[in-house]
Chains A and B, each alone.
Chain A
Amino acid sequence: MSFEVMLEQLTSGMLKSMLIFFLTLIFSLPLGMVMCFGRMSKNKIISGITGFIISILRGTPLMLQLMVVYFFPYYLFGWSIGGWRYPAIIVGFSINYAAYFAEIYRSGIEAIPKGQHEASQILLYSKPQEFFKITLPQVIKIILPAMTNEIITLVKDTSLAFSISYIELFNMAQQIAAANTTMIPFVVAAIFYYVFNLLVSVVMRCFEKKLSYYS
């Protein structure tokens, strides 16, 4: 196999990995907020159930969760799971990452001084106004470093999609390596993950800089 062909194949794997990454972020960031609200709900039942779900999602391997999501329609209902592989990956990743984000959001919200809430109350901000104008902007600044860590982990975790035989970058590299007895695809893959994470760090650092106008 020529280097060019190899690179072409790896690039297609790379794009698939990146798509998993972006779709997961798009779904898990808001879903994490919903979980966070559930976890912080005054209703003991809601917060209890959400807390339990979050602890399961954080306490079991993502690879296992992907398999459960992928296979459960078949084992539970006997449905064919032919076209389900890709959606299952996105669903599995999104739910798992939402659980981590939910806990990060919660730590951020709890770090906001009570006085901010009391001032908002006295100034008669509505609940949504308080959340979007006062709480959220401050929470984002607080949680940015923790979010950066989690997002970097996500870049690397996209390789776990191989566990349900999805051919993303890592799986592609493995196949090419096995067929051609060469380490080069792994080197290329490693460089890709590293450079992509470097970009993630730079972007996140930019956000942090943008929010450093107050302390």
Chain B
Amino acid sequence: MLYLEMNNIKKSFGDLQVLKDISLQVREGEVISIIGPSGSGKSTLLRIATMLETLDYGTISYLGEEAVSLYDGESVYAKPKKLKEIKKNFGLVFQNFNLFPHYTVLKNITDAPISVQKRNKKEVMKEAKELLDKMGLSDKADYYPCQLSGGQQQRVAIARALALKPKVLFFDEPTSALDPELTGEVLKVIKSLAEQKMTMVIVTHEMSFARNISDRVIFMDKGVIAVEGSPEEVFNSSNERMQEFLGKLNHE
């Protein structure tokens, strides 16, 4: 089943065309990595998929439900009520975590399920503790975000996203704000999610990680998908821009 289908997405900021006709399909259980030079439009694509940003043209549907469809050649967003239902399908993990600083770790995770989803408090608490366990943070439930390392904060952010039980989880450079020695613990968590067949779309600069866990890799360049395929196909591609991009990374 197609969990996410985005077709012919176009987006400009003023005169700058950031996305030029991008299409992306995500199937159930698939892990997709998006790589590419900075400024190529990766974040914009995720922000449009998660509706933090509106598109200029194109269509989006989650699990067959149309969030943006075409009427007379124009893209139209679904009604707020339907859109809200559709938004329940995805979560997003930010580059700089965006945890709520005035809430404890536990409250960061449980507040939305309790006050937004109106789920049973006891049950949510129990699940949150299990999530924290999985993240290796069971002793940090009562800490505030400012008392945690970046790697720990990002794992809390992942737990917070998972607590709402999304069908698709997006990551926008989840380790880019972390010191190198802390990226490993976050990548490990994402890897374990991949093993549990969580559907994920991950923008990342961690090439070996992308190569390892992805079913499919997308290389974006200047607002288009330049190369797409299995990790082998993409990393061994003869595409000039891809070679240049990998070359630059190896030099760093």
Contact = CB atoms under 8 A, between A and B. Distances in A.
A213 to B, nearest CB: 7
Judged by DSSP, the binding face of A is: helix
Interface in B161-198: 161, 164
B160 interface: yes
B94 interface: yes
Contact of A121 (B52, B96, B144): B52
Interface in A106-142: 113, 115-116, 118-119, 121-126, 129, 133-134, 137-138, 141
Contacts of A213: 144
A124 B52 CA distance: 12
A180 B161 CA distance: 73
Contacts of A133: 111, 115
A138 to B, nearest CB: 6
Contact of B87 (A119, A124, A137, A141): A124
Interface residues of A, number: 20
A122 B117 CA distance: 13
Nearest to B163: A123
Interface string B42-67: 00000000111000000000000000
Interface string A45-70: 00000000000000000000000000
A214 interface: yes
Contact of A123 (B52, B146, B164): B164
A165 interface: no
Contacts of A119: 94, 98-100
Nearest to A134: B100
B117 to A, nearest CB: 8
Given A123-B160, A214-B101, A118 B94 contact: yes
Interface string B146-168: 10000000000000110010000
Contacts of A134: 100
Contacts of A115: 94, 96, 98
Interface string B84-117: 1001100110101011111000000001100111
Interface of B: 50-52, 84, 87-88, 91-92, 94, 96, 98-102, 111-112, 115-117, 144-146, 160-161, 164
Query: Closest 6 CB pairs between A and B?
Result: A115-B98, A119-B98, A123-B112, A214-B144, A122-B92, A214-B101
Given A124-B88, A138-B101, 14 more contacts: A113-B98, A119-B100, A123-B116, A124-B84, A124-B112, A125-B112, A126-B116, A133-B111, A133-B115, A137-B102, A138-B102, A213-B144, A214-B101, A214-B102
6 contacts: A116-B100, A119-B99, A123-B116, A124-B84, A137-B102, A214-B146
